[in-house]
Amino acid sequence: MTAALAVPPPDMPNPRRLPAGPALLAAIVAVNLLGFVAPVLNLLRLSFLKVDAIGTLRQSFDLSSWRAILTDGFYAELLVDSVRTCALITGLTLVLSYPIALLIHRCRGTVRTLLLVLVITPLLTSAVVRTYGWVALLYDQGLVNGVLMALGMSAPLRLMFNTVGVVIGLTEILMPYMILSLLAGFGRLDPRCEEAATTLGASPLRTFLRVVLPLTLPGIALGCLLTFVLALSSFITPKLLGGGRVFLLATEIYDQAMVTLNWPLAAALSIVILAMFGLALVLYGRLVRKIG
Amino acid sequence: MTTDAPGHLAIRGLTKRYGGFTAVDGLDLDVARGELLAFLGPSGCGKTTSLRMVAGLVPASGGRIVVGGRDLTGVPTHRRDMGLMFQSYALFPHLSVARNVAFGLEMRGIGRAEREARVREAIALVRLTGKEEHRPAQLSGGQQQRVALARALVIRPQILLLDEPLSNLDAKLRDEMRVEIREIQQRLGITAIFVTHDQVEALTMCDKVAVMNGGRLEQLGTPLDLYERPATPFVARFVGRINQFRARAAGGTVSLGEARITGAGPAEGPVEVMIRPHRIALSPVSAPAETSDAPLNTVAGTVARTTFAGDVLHYEVAVGDAMLCVEEATRSHAGPVAPGTPVRLSWRPDDTLLFAAAA
């Protein structure tokens, strides 16, 4: 009798199954609303506030931050410079990471695990520590210049406190992300396809261009998106290796927020960076759909 | 045999070593122009490695590969002019059917007009006209298989290499493709090697079969040779089903149960005795003895198990302390012999294969 009561009639919806999906979704929606959407909206609100010389916020609507960004040539230049530098970093990271990712993709067993550990290990160290590592290598009396001078160079190369240093440091720091993204996107690359291409008469170079490259495009797109976004939003490495002489969007936001105490301008610049991310994401989406 | 004829493949002393392990050990064979030869053997016997060495995908540790008199041993894969069909098809997923088939022609720098004509022809050959613009993922397994065949054939290779091409297909499709591949190969008169672990494929499709085991060639012969005159116990066991037991030959006969039987092989010493189940005739002891122009091997036994499989009946018959399998075609007018029935087994002495065995 109790068993009969426990089974609901077939046409009645099971009360215990119905709300599970929406309930599970609600949790993540709430986290996103609280942790992401609300702060961004707050940032947007902040960018329309007025600030006085000592950084006190006035609760009045003001367009001066946005006017500065849109009319002051400095910010336009900053934006173009940032995008150009980050695109260069992304390109270099791709070129340096691609062969490594391809090698790991082709390895099996212990060798593969070992190589993956080598790729992931740098991620366990903070970017600050790794940046100081680069300082030790790149400064005027550092290892690189020491070797070059010992080989007979008269004056040290300026490898730090300029864009060169920032590009070197960020490229290395972002390589693990690029390698992992590439590997994630290499799923379609079957070694048998490469073999098929060679039996059909394709030289190694043409096999690469006609088969390997097209099949790894999803990985390349993902890696470039991630690297570009991470490069554009990093500020510790550009600050330390740029020595205050390299101006990027992220470092400028940091300076406006922490040094000048102009929170509305920092907020407005943050929105600009967010828009850049959105743009990169749209480009990525289009590319992925095109690769299909 | 003119080994310099175009399309003739000569393999001489082909060897592959991985460290201390020898995967292929001194393979010697010839495939005449237009012939379909199977590399048959269990997994790990070196058949795929041999094929990959012929294609140049695996460098040989020793030996030579000569096609039409030209030594290809050191020639890279992309200059060998061989069409290879992979077990996993290995179609280019980012290209349409037509572009997949056209790939080899593009690599050879063949002009657009001729390329398109040949692609159309190859696609028609494998009966895929109308699917030109499909992507491989939109095709069934059998259709993908056909694209792979068209792609390998359109370049008009000197040698066609087929690496277990049918093992990913279901049974019905496999039968169809078997006939289709054989028909196309014969129509084009192309020299081909077919790697398989399936003896039915090797026997039904190929002109010659090279049975491999442990990196060595066990026997090279026609399907009939392998089945009727296996050179080694391994070939006898691997090709077709067979009864097998150990015995001692004396004076050209072997004792089985209470009888002595004769066979083809060594007359004295320890032997492996092999008899194919369907060559044994089974009759109740009450029935009159079978008449034959030659003296038959005849033994008495008792049916231990009867299995009805539709077209055949499988019997297990206890003869002395040996157990023999017997297969008979089913007949509508005679039902299965029940277990426990005393029976007489008889077969021709030629059907008894004797191989010298270690003592």
pLDDT tens digits for range B35-85: 999 999 999 899 999 999 999 999 999 999 999 999 999 899 999 999 999
Contacts of A192 in chain B (CB under 8 A): 86, 88, 90
- Quote the pLDDT of residue A59: 82
Contacts of A211 in chain B (CB under 8 A): 92
Measure CB to CB from residue B90 to each of A192, A204, A291 and give the nearest one. Answer: A192
pLDDT category of residue A3 using cuts at 50, 70 and 90: very low
**Contact: B77, A215; criterion CB under 8 Å:** no
Give domain limits for chain B: 9-237, 241-356
- Quote the pLDDT of residue A4: 45
Three-class SS state of B301: strand
Q: How far is B81 from chain A (nearest CA, A)?
A: 7
In the stretch 192-221 of chain B, residues with CB closer than 8 A to chain A read none
The pLDDT tens digits for A97-153 are 999 999 999 999 999 999 999 999 999 998 899 999 999 999 888 899 999 999 988
- Which residue in A200, A207, A208 has the most chain B C-beta atoms within 10 A of its own C-beta, making it the best mutation to test that interface? A200
CATH number of residue A70's parent domain: 1.10.3720.10
Q: Does residue A60 register a pLDDT over 90? A: no
Contacts of A195 in chain B (CB under 8 A): 57, 77, 84, 86, 90
**Mean pLDDT, range B142-149, rounded to an integer:** 92
The answer as to whether A192 is a domain residue is yes
- Quote the pLDDT of residue A2: 43
Residue type, B202: A
The answer as to whether A26 is a domain residue is no
As for how many domains chain A has, the answer is 1
The answer as to whether A275 is a domain residue is yes
The answer as to whether A56 is a domain residue is no
**Mean pLDDT, range B241-258, rounded to an integer:** 87
The answer as to whether A1 is a domain residue is no
Task: Give the residues across from B244 on adjacent strands.
Answer: B274
Asked whether this complex has an ipTM greater than 0.85, the answer is no
- For A214, name the nearest residue in chain B, comparing CA atoms only: B94
Which fold would CATH assign to domain B241-356?
OB fold (Dihydrolipoamide Acetyltransferase, E2P) (2.40.50)
The answer as to whether A32 is a domain residue is no
Tell me whether B280 touches chain A (CB under 8 Å): no
- Quote the pLDDT of residue B290: 64
The pLDDT tens digits for B157-183 are 999 999 998 888 888 888 888 998 999
pLDDT category of residue A1 using cuts at 50, 70 and 90: very low
Per CATH, the homologous superfamily of domain B9-237 is P-loop containing nucleotide triphosphate hydrolases (3.40.50.300)
The answer as to whether A45 is a domain residue is no
- Quote the pLDDT of residue B210: 96
Measure CB to CB from residue A202 to each of B84, B94, B107 and give the nearest one. Answer: B107
Range of the domain at A65: 61-291
Query: Which of B233, B53, B289 has the alpha carbon at shortest distance from B159?
Result: B53
- The percent of residues in chain B predicted with pLDDT above 90, rounded, is 66
- Which residue in B86, B145, B147, B159 has the most chain A C-beta atoms within 10 A of its own C-beta, making it the best mutation to test that interface? B86
Q: SS in 3 state form for chain A?
A: CHHHHHCCCCCCCCCCCCCHHHHHHHHHHHHHHHHHHHHHHHHHHHCCCEECCCCCEECCCCCHHHHHHHHCHHHHHHHHHHHHHHHHHHHHHHHHHHHHHHHHHHCCHHHHHHHHHHHHHHHHCCHHHHHHHHHHHHCCCCHHHHHHHHCCCCCCCCCCCCHHHHHHHHHHHHHHHHHHHHHHCCCCCCHHHHHHHHHCCCCHHHHHHHHHHHHHHHHHHHHHHHHHHHHHHCCHHHHHHHCCCCCCHHHHHHHHHHHCCCHHHHHHHHHHHHHHHHHHHHHHHHHHHHHC
The answer as to whether A38 is a domain residue is no
